[in-house]
Amino acid sequence: MASEHRFHIPVMGTGHSIDTPIRVAPYGIDSVMSVVDDLLVEKIRKYYAEAYNLPFTSIPRSAEDGRARRITAYLNTVEEVVRTKFDEIRNQPFFTDNEKTKYFEMLPDTAQIKQLWKQLLEMAPSPDRDELEKQITSMMEPGSIDINIMAKVDRLLNDTEGRPLSNEFSDANAAIRGFAKSNLRSSVILSAGFNPRLYGYMAEFRDFYRDTTGELKKKIVLKVSDFRSALIQGKFLAKKGLEIAEFRIESGLNCGGHAFASDGELLPVILKEFKDKKEQLKETFLPMVTSFYETMGWEYPESAKEEQPLVTVQGGIGTYGENQRLFEEYDMDKTGWASPFLLVPEATPIDEPTLEQLKNAGEDDLYLSGASPLGIPFNNLRRSGSERWTKARINTDKPGSPCPKGFLQFNTEFTKDAICTASTQYILLKLDSIQHSDMDEAEKERQKKIVFEKTCLCDHLGNGALIALGILREDRGPQSICPGPNLAWFNRIYTLREMIDHIYGRGKSLVPSHRPHMFAKEMAMYVDYLKDLIQKTDFSDVKAAKQIQRIRKNLEGSIEYCMEIARSKAYADENLSSILETAQKSMDQLAEMFESDPAMA
First to last CA, the chain: 55
Q: What is the pTM of this model?
A: 0.95
Burial class (CB in 10 A: 0-12, 13-18, 19+), 371: buried
Query: How far apart (Å, rounded) are the C-alpha atoms in residues 224 and 247?
Result: 7
Percent over 70 (pLDDT), the chain: 98
Instruction: Give SS3 for 34.
Output: strand
Percent over 90 (pLDDT), the chain: 87
- Strands 30-34, 334-336: pairing is unpaired
Q: How far is CA 594 from the centre of its chain?
A: 34
Average pLDDT over residues 342-347: 98
pLDDT tier at 596 (50, 70, 90 boundaries)?
low
Query: How far apart (Å, rounded) are the C-alpha atoms in residues 294 and 301?
Result: 12
Give the pLDDT of residue 538: 79
Nearest to 172 by CA among 193, 144, 143: 193
Average pLDDT over residues 479-492: 96
> What is the per-residue pLDDT across 520-548, written as a single tens digit (0 to 9) for each?
999 999 999 999 889 888 787 888 889 99
Q: How far is CA 219 from the centre of its chain?
A: 17
Query: How far apart (Å, rounded) are the C-alpha atoms in residues 221 and 214?
Result: 18
Q: What is the CA radius of gyration of the chain?
A: 25
Give the pLDDT of residue 598: 52
- Runs of H (alpha helix) within 277-382: 278-296, 320-328, 352-360
> What is the per-residue pLDDT across 164-187, written as a single tens digit (0 to 9) for each?
777 888 889 999 999 999 999 999
The rounded mean pLDDT for the chain is: 94
Residue 310 bridge partners (DSSP): 246
Nearest to 102 by CA among 110, 90, 112: 90
CB 547 within 8 A of CB 600: no
pLDDT tier at 600 (50, 70, 90 boundaries)?
low
Residue 150 bridge partners (DSSP): 191
Residues 6 or more apart in contact with residue 590 via CB below 8 angstroms: 527, 530, 552, 555, 556
Query: How far apart (Å, rounded) are the C-alpha atoms in residues 3 and 319?
Result: 21
Widest Cα–Cα separation across the chain = 88
